[in-house]
Amino acid sequence: MPDQPAERFGFTKLLVADLEASLAFYSAVFGFSESTRVQAEIADRSIDEIILTSPVAGAPTLILLRYADVTAVSSGELILGFITSDADALVARALAAGGSVVRTPERNEHAGGVRVGFIADNEGHLIELVETAG
C-alpha cells in the first residue's frame, strides 16, 4: 500500500457579499462559530475573512470571504454538502435563518436509500443535505 500524502483537505472559502449576515446564517443553521477575522490581500485585492469552526471536532473549516470591491457574488460557483441525521430540522433552521428550500429532502434509492435535499443560504448559495439512516 503506498504511503499516504502529507496533504489533507482543510477548508473551503465561500465568497459572500455580506459577512455578518452569512456568519449569522451558518452559525444558526449548522452551529459554526467564529474563530478568527482576517484582513489581507489576494492578488492586490483587499479581502475580509471570517474563519468558522465546525461544532464537529476535526471537520474541515468554512471560511467566509468578501472582496472589498465586490457588492454581489455568484451563487452557482459551488455546492456545499452537509451530512446529517435530521434533514428536516436543518431545513427548518435554514428557513428561520433566512434561507430557502430548493428541493425538499426525499429518499433516493439510487444513493443507498439516504434522503437528499437542497437548500439555499441567505445569499442563494446551494447546500446539499444528505440524511443518513440511523
Q: How far apart are CA 53 and CA 13, in angstroms?
A: 13
CB 117 within 8 A of CB 101: yes
Confidence class of residue 44 from pLDDT cuts 50, 70 and 90? very high
Tell me what the mean pLDDT of segment 101-115 comes to: 89
Confidence class of residue 4 from pLDDT cuts 50, 70 and 90? low
**Ordered structural domains, the chain, with CATH:** 11-71+78-131 (3.10.180.10)
Tell me what the mean pLDDT of segment 22-34 comes to: 97
Share of the chain above pLDDT 70, in %: 96
Per-residue model confidence (pLDDT) at position 113: 82
Nearest C-alpha neighbor of 45 from the set 64, 63, 65: 65
- Is the pLDDT score of 62 beyond 70? yes
Q: Give 123 or 2, the one with higher predicted confidence.
A: 123
- Is the pLDDT score of 1 beyond 60? no
- Is the pLDDT score of 108 beyond 90? no
Tell me what the mean pLDDT of segment 5-33 comes to: 92
